[in-house]
Amino acid sequence: MKSEKISELTTNRLSVYLRCLNTLAAVRIKTISSQALAKQFNLNSAQIRKDLGYFGEFGVRGVGYYVEDLRDHITQILGLNRPHRVGIIGAGRLGTALANYNGFGKSNFTVVALFDNDSDKIGKRLGAGEVMVYDVKKIDRVVREQEIDVAVIAVPASSAQRVLNQVTSAGIRAVLNFAPAPLSARLGVKVKTVDLTTSLESLSYFLARSQVGAKANARNSSRVNEIIEQTEQEL
């Protein structure tokens, strides 16, 4: 592996490549070239080779990539060759929905605890996996006992920073944040924020620009027709 720092964009793409390889393995494809991989999944072959090149030489000239071998390598690179135990802070609708998400298990993540400050929820089991809801005040103890290494924040924005401080004080260094708030993490802690509102507003902007463009095209088309009609009359 090269000594230069690997960007988050690169690791994000590795995750995409892994899902593509999983799809190929499911239909028993043994080998594939970067060009074929890119064409089948709408990727960029040069980018695939560049990203993989950061971590070693995986292709074989004249053959391409061995699907199973490359899957194993990327799985290890992403640290998915060992289980990760997840604690979700916030047992509301979002937290419960996340606890029920089947996709976690496919990537070796298991939700082992929910946390909340609602006495009506504490001590109960929620979701299809019957995940126990613990008092949020006991995060430190439960993190140690359940060996939790990933936290998911699903609380209101006003509480998010305090919750982040709690989970990092408990020793967690990887946090997925769903609260619509900018968070400040201590050194050595990685926080990845999923902002649904920002994503939707970006889509809204796209739609608005598309409508503006359509109206402009309609005006231009109308003007062209007027010019054509005027020219025909002069002739």
CATH of the domain at 149: 3.40.50.720
Same structural domain, 28 and 69: yes
Same structural domain, 176 and 113: yes
**219: pLDDT confidence band, cut at 50, 70 and 90?**
low
Is 1 inside any structural domain? no
Residue 3 pLDDT > 50: no
Same structural domain, 66 and 112: no
End-to-end, the C-alpha distance of the chain in Å comes to 73
Question: What average pLDDT does the segment 69-84 reach?
Answer: 95
Of residues 210 and 209, more confidence is placed in 209
Same structural domain, 207 and 188: no
Residue 129 pLDDT > 80: no
Same structural domain, 100 and 52: no
**147: pLDDT confidence band, cut at 50, 70 and 90?**
very high
Residues 18 and 108: their CA atoms lie apart, in Å, by 13
Contact criterion met (CB below 8 Å) for 70 and 21:
yes
Per-residue tokens: 19 = 């899902």
Concatenating the DSSP letter of every residue in 34-79 gives HHHHHHHHT--HHHHHHHHHTT----BTTTBEEHHHHHHHHHHHTT
Residue 70 pLDDT > 80: yes
Same structural domain, 88 and 161: yes
Is 103 inside any structural domain? yes
CATH, residue 34: 1.10.10.10
Question: What average pLDDT does the segment 3-11 reach?
Answer: 82
Kindly give, in sequence order, each residue whose CB lies less than 8 Å from that of residue 213, ignoring residues fewer than 6 positions away: none
Residue that finishes a domain, picked among 77, 106, 134: 77
Task: Write the pLDDT tens digit of every residue in 175-208.
Answer: 999 998 889 999 999 999 998 888 888 889 889 8
Residue 189 belongs to domain spanning: 84-194
Is 63 inside any structural domain? yes
**217: pLDDT confidence band, cut at 50, 70 and 90?**
low
Residue 139 pLDDT > 60: yes
Question: What average pLDDT does the segment 11-29 reach?
Answer: 96
Same structural domain, 35 and 52: yes
Per-residue tokens: 86 = 């997840």
Residue that finishes a domain, picked among 53, 77, 101: 77
pLDDT for the residue numbered 221: 56
**99: pLDDT confidence band, cut at 50, 70 and 90?**
very high
Same structural domain, 111 and 133: yes
Is 42 inside any structural domain? yes
Domain count along the chain? 3
Residue that finishes a domain, picked among 54, 77, 100: 77
Is 2 inside any structural domain? no
For residue 194, what is the DSSP state?
-
Question: What average pLDDT does the segment 59-82 reach?
Answer: 94
pLDDT for the residue numbered 65: 96
Taking the CB of residue 212, how many other CB atoms lie within 10 A of it? Answer: 10
pLDDT for the residue numbered 226: 56
Taking the CB of residue 96, how many other CB atoms lie within 10 A of it? Answer: 20
